[in-house]
Chains A and B, each alone.
Chain A
Amino acid sequence: MSNELSLKDQLRLNDQKFAETGCVFGLETLPEKERDPGTYESVWHTLLGICNAAWSVGCKVSSSPVAVEGGDALWALHTPTGECICTSRGITAHVGLLASMVRHFIELDYETLPGFKPGDIFENNDPHFGGIHCPDFDTAMPLFYEDKLVAWVSAVTHANDAGSVLPGSISFMNPDCFSDGVPVTMEKIGENDKLYPWYEMRMKSRTRTPEWVMGDTRGRLAGCLTVRDRLQETIAKYGLDFFLKASREYIEDSRRYAVSRIKTQTVPGRIRKSQFKDLAMKGGNVVMPKQDVDILMNLPMEMTIDENAAVSFSLAGASGTVPFGENITPTALASGLLMGYSHVVGFDMFNSGATYAMKLQEPPGGTWCNPFPVDYFAACGLGWAPTVMWLTSLYEVTGRLYHMRGFVEEMSAGAATTMAAEWSGENQYGNYTVGLTLEQASNGSPARGIGDGEPAAWCIFTANADFGNAEITELYYPIMYLGRNMQPDSGGYGKFRGGMGHTTIWMVKNTDGGINYTAACSGIRSKITGNHGMYGAYPTMPDRISYAHNTNIKALIDDQKPLIHERGDPEYGDLEQNIKAEILEANVVVPVVVEHTLQDYDIVINPISGSQAMGDPVERDPEMVRQDLDTGLTRNWVAEGINGVIAHKDNNNEWTVDDAATSDRRQAILDARKARGVPFKEWWLQESKKVLAKEDMHEAVTDMWRSSMSLSPHYAAELRSFWNLPDDFEF
């Protein structure tokens, strides 16, 4: 390490050394680790502790429900050139973004102008320059030790509102980047540990809840200062030379871990998984005429593992940009991929290391995952939405690979969907409010190779799954929880099922001016199922909400009549059975901005998905089906018709399995499949004619194929050849 090199020259040298050796920083050995593994390990944990202390301090200093209740934030420590060394708990999807932001500051010669000085505060949230979407503010401060820049600390929080065209932070409805919210474009926002006054003025005039936005900014800053103080002590204790060397070794160590895990636990080859996402907005409540459209997005994953265990991801076949917020830049997508990778491949030391163990091939320009080369005005209001859906494939494909090598304890099926509930309007204190509830931060987890997933305890976009306390959420918004229940069969049907999602029933309460509810898209599927199943399991159900406006609930309460506490029968739910209302919509396709302003005693039913199941449902242990019947997690028609388990309920509401009838039923299901299934070729002969004739193909489907095929010619050629379509065929 040379004192003479500028950071920019150091970056170039790092890149060159990695290209030459395949090791980060050219570290072909790990001398500090080898010399004193105990100190190496203990300092790692000290650094982790420092980042987590920042998370605790920062979330408490902030005042927004997302940070305080949800912990939806992250602090990280970086090398002088930006590579992430370690992070706090929290939203780990941002680690790659934070690392690339620091790198960009250096590449843009910020070292010369405005310069890097102790106490400087930098920030970005602008997708055109490396952000993900405006509500995620990425902040960084250079850290010095005896006048030398020795590290960076960074932070991200998710603001309740960043001033996009509609209230809230799950800004799927943004038609273009001009409606994406208040930009902070690679700026220096303060110095000497203080924010510039104009930063606060801008947040005041251009966001809807500036107190919460500024609370978050101060929270980020407080966490960064916590890291700075404690890092000073750590460096003083172990020496600067050790810190600088070890912090690089942690990153190379992590890369090695990811590579070795691929080599010892997977199989080289090509693995593919398709994935789709619908946006049925035609005839809906939209902002601009171009949004009056039905869209199906194509989110394909191809992962190849070569003989050196190098992993490469391709999005060939991805469909085009959408006139909504569901576009994302490759930089942000790669950051999301790093998080997914950390969950399923390399989570021993989580930092930038895994980035060097894989490659994301640049998606075709003009796709939802690389919009700006073709559509510079594309909105990125909620780029995470298609991204997390795409990442569900990563869980499944690595699960398949682990199975092949026998590491069944590491297997996972895919995820399902992510839907967010947002409220905006007058709260119970007579003030304007806007914000998320944290329901979406807690899905059921995917089925595992050796058992069911866990209910309402997992979330694809954060390792910190937490749906917050109902009682606290009731303090933030004028709503009351009438129910928060496991949704039966929301984890798909399979030998092992996914964990259950949960359904919340809210009653609007104590708003004078009324409040608006949005079922916002952070990864919704509503026209299609939540994903594929895995190994013969059926996929999870689509997302649908329900609501009732101008209800008779007050009268029901006064008369002590039954209300509504769960969704109930999917064909005739508790809402329809128990409630009367002027407007009652039981089966609403989402995402949706509900057009009615809700008043006291109005009802919203907001389901959060489980995750995918694994294996043929008739192989499910009848005892597990019986337990699910007893606890209400499955329904008898599913047990009988899909799992092939015949059970009877006794007078104590307890179920008993009829083993003989179950065996017979299961054999009958297997026989029925063989009787109704047709040889693939026979089906293919018919189906290829229907594809050619575009028979019964929704406009959203043909639009998607047209877009995918024009953007990825090889993908188009393979699709045409599969259905024996003419070479010039277009949908």
Chain B
Amino acid sequence: MADYDIYELEEIRKLVDGELPWTTVQQMMKNAKDTDRFDKWITILQERVPWDEYILLPLTPALYIVQKDSDRIVKCRCGHEFGDYRVNWKLSALIYVRDDQEKLSEVYKGLEQPDLKWMQLREYYCPGCGSQLEVEALPRGAPPDFEFLPDLDTFYGKWLQRPLPQTVEFKDMTAEVIRSWCS
């Protein structure tokens, strides 16, 4: 398999930063994939965050699942923590809904505007750094998308062949947080 691991860390860094010529990127797309990409990727990302917790999985360009002591939590690149990765992180974000014409007009004008009777434009921000983490266009009544609930123990134990120290149940815990809000 080592035959495929043909890229230096620096080359992957350039790829990630969009610094490779398009022809080189195309060649990388056509080649068989390098099997150590994930390790190099984590190395690059780990160097770039200002904190020390180990990155288990990058969820988005801003959010990471990290090992913090015995917990696996979602953490922003700025350091803000969102809690257990099995709960939709949006429940710990700031939200802003563009639900009137004035707020909508800052983003869409005239015939480019959607109809707010049919949808809400929901923006989710990091409370720490103000990054816009996701924008959702949904009708009222739609729960926020819980984009990804990874099965981390299967991933590390069975796919990467290096099990994590403890295992946790693969379970969506969002409803439990909601229940705690209802009392």
Contacts and interface: CB of A to CB of B under 8 A. Distances in A.
Contact of A674 (B33, B37, B94): B94
B24 to A, nearest CB: 10
A296 interface: yes
A670 B16 CA distance: 24
A724 B108 CA distance: 33
A394 interface: no
A671 B62 CA distance: 17
Given A409-B28, A696-B140, A272 B146 contact: yes
B49 interface: no
A704 B139 contact: yes
Contacts of B2: none
Interface residues of A, number: 98
Sort chain B's interface into a size bin: 35 or more
Contacts of B117: 527, 696, 698
A680 B122 CA distance: 11
Given A587-B110, A617-B132, A701-B140, A528 B118 contact: yes
B94 A536 contact: no
Determine the main DSSP class of B at the interface with A.
mixed
Contacts of A704: 139
B35 interface: yes
B54 interface: no
A269 B119 contact: no
Contacts of B168: none
Interface in B113-141: 113-115, 117-119, 121, 123-125, 127, 129-141
Contact of B143 (A669, A677, A690, A722): A722
A466 to B, nearest CB: 21
B147 A701 contact: no
A244 interface: no
A673 B148 contact: no
A400 interface: yes
A684 B132 contact: no
Contacts of A696: 117, 140
A253 to B, nearest CB: 14
Contacts of A531: 137
Given A400-B147, A536-B62, A674-B94, 6 more contacts: A264-B35, A272-B145, A403-B60, A570-B112, A678-B96, A722-B174
- Please list the 10 inter-chain residue pairs (A to B) with the smallest Cβ-Cβ separation, ordered nearest first: A406-B41, A677-B94, A570-B110, A670-B130, A571-B110, A536-B132, A269-B150, A541-B112, A587-B111, A722-B143
Interface of B: 12, 15-18, 25, 28-29, 33, 35, 37-38, 40-42, 57-62, 90-97, 106-115, 117-119, 121, 123-125, 127, 129-143, 145-152, 154-155, 158-159, 170, 172, 174-175, 178-179, 181-182
30 contacts: A268-B151, A268-B155, A269-B170, A273-B145, A274-B136, A274-B138, A305-B151, A307-B159, A397-B147, A404-B58, A406-B40, A409-B25, A410-B29, A528-B137, A529-B114, A535-B62, A544-B111, A570-B110, A570-B111, A615-B61, A616-B62, A670-B129, A673-B94, A677-B95, A680-B92, A683-B95, A697-B140, A701-B140, A702-B141, A705-B139
